[in-house]
Each structure stands twice: as structure tokens, then as C-alpha cells.
Amino acid sequence: MQVNQEDRIAPQEKSANTNTLAIVAVAVAAIIAGGAYYYFQASEPVPQPVEVKDIIPEEPLVTIADIPEPVIEDVIEPKIIEVEPQVQVEPLPTLSNSDGYVHKKTVEIADGMKIEPLLVEKDLVRHFVVFVDNLAQGELARKVSPLKAPERIFTVSDITNKTYLNPDSYHRYDLYANFVANLDEQQLAATYKELTPLLEEAFEELGYGDMSFNQRLLQAIDIMLAAPVIEQPIELDGVSVNYQFVDPQLEALPNAQKLLVRMGPENTKKVKAALRKLKRYLAG
């Protein structure tokens, strides 16, 4: 460790005699001369050495070795504890007063899509739960659908004395399919988890005591995933008031699966892809 020049010799008491001061002065001069040698010009006279006879100091000198090393104490850095800001969780309303809250959450997960005109205004949670319960049975409970029906009408095409489902009718469901397909998986899972108490309460009102709403939703998803994707034109029978599929296998499908068929192949694929993601979350 480098020692400061002023610290090399401990200061003496004023009572020190002349011999002590002289030796101290010679030591200091030698140190200064050694350090400043190259700063002097060569023309300056070189001082003659002075013979110093045995001078015994009356008091012992404090040498460099006698100077204790300064004790460097370990500095303990204060620990900085980062405190995460607490997220204010909006309290969950009662089931009967949940319409505004659920409407807001649905719009949030829509992420800019114009879904508001499609939402029913009353009993959103109860409608959704009853609709899912019917889907799990393969049925469509249109009167309690949480979403309003498309405004565009269903159309058909007559080709060579045969009636087909008009592919333009598929686009009636574009907004619905895109809404489901574009949902953020993590946000949807978080919202579903947040609304689960309301969903379970509404499901209990239906009288199911041996299963949860989560289990019923999984059954409904399986029904919808089993729907076929029809790429070719779909022939219809227009004898009766309501159109029916000419293909007996299509006509035998549950009404819930027929809905996906009427959405068209592209929309069906979008909906089924979203349902698979939701199923992985619910079953995980």
C-alpha cells in the first residue's frame, strides 16, 4: 500500500531535542530529494556529503514499519428490496348485478372488435351458462344466447333445379368467428378465472349437483369439436318451410354442430381452433 509522504514519520512532541529534529530533517530531505531529482537542473551545485557521527537519539524513532495499517472495515451495502405495486382488483359484483361488469370484461377481451352490438343487455352470465348447458346436449337455445343473431338473412342458390346453401351466407358469421379466433389466450383464461364464481353460481341454479360448470363447458366444447368441416357445396331440401340438408348424415347432426356447418368451412376452422385452446386451459 502506498503511504503518503506526510504519514511516513509520526509527529514528535515539542520537547524533542535538536538531534532528533536533525535526523528527522535529513530523512525528510532524502525522501524529497529522491522524488524530485529529475526536476533539478544539472547546473545546480551538488551539495557535499556531511559526515554524521554516531548520534544516538534519546527517544526511539517511529519507523515506517511501526505505522499500523489502517483497518478497512467491510462496508455492507444496504439491500434494496423492490416492492411490486399492488394491483387493484375490482370487486366481483353479485350475479344479479353483474351485467355491466361482464359486458365491460367482454369488450376488453374483444380488443377493439365491435362486439358490443352483438351482446345481450340483460342476464349475460345466466344466458351464457344456459346456452353452454344446451350446447353440451347438442342443442341450440337461441332465446338465451349471450350473442344476438346475425342481421343478414340466410340465402340459398338455385343451380340446375337444385338448391344449395349460398356461400355468401357464411359471411354472416364472420364477426362471431373472428371474435372467437382473435381472443388472446392468456387474457381469456384470466377473465374466465375471474368470472368463474359467477358462472358456477348461475350453473348451480340449474340444479346440477354432481358436476361443475367447468365440466359442462368441456362437454359442450367436445360436441362442437366433433362437427365436420364441409368444403364442398351443401345441397338443401326446400320442400318444407325450414331448409334441411339433403345429405342424411348432415341432417342427423346435433343442432349445435349444424350451426358450425352453416358458418362455412373457414369460420368453422377458426372456431374449432379457438375451442381447442380453451379446452387445453380448462383441462390442464
Write down the pLDDT at residue 36. 32
Residue reference for cell 343487455 = 121
Buried b (16+ CB within 10 A) or exposed e, 20-33: beeebeeeeeeeee
Q: What is the pLDDT along the chain (284 residues), one digit of tens a residue?
A: 444 444 333 444 433 333 333 333 333 333 333 333 333 333 444 455 555 455 555 555 555 555 555 555 555 666 666 666 665 667 899 999 999 999 998 888 887 877 888 788 889 999 999 999 999 999 998 888 888 888 788 888 888 889 999 999 999 999 889 888 888 888 888 888 899 999 999 999 999 888 999 999 999 999 999 999 999 999 998 765 678 999 999 999 999 999 999 999 999 999 999 999 888 888 76
Q: What is the pLDDT of residue 211?
A: 93
Note the pLDDT of residue 4: 41
What pLDDT score does 155 carry?
Answer: 86
Q: Give the DSSP per-residue string, 102-167.
A: HHHHHHHHHTT---GGGB-SS-HHHHHHHHHHHHTTT---GGG-SBPPPSSPP-EEEETTEEEE-G
Nearest to 268 by CA among 219, 231, 222, 233: 231
C-alpha cell at 149: 343473431
Question: What is the model's pLDDT at position 90?
Answer: 73
CB neighbourhood size of 110 (10 A)? 16
Residue 31, CA distances (Å) to 21, 25, 74, 194, 199 in order: 15, 10, 33, 80, 90
pTM of the full predicted structure? 0.66
Containing 24, the helix (H) or strand (E) segment is helix 18-36
CB neighbours (10 Å) of residue 162?
Answer: 13
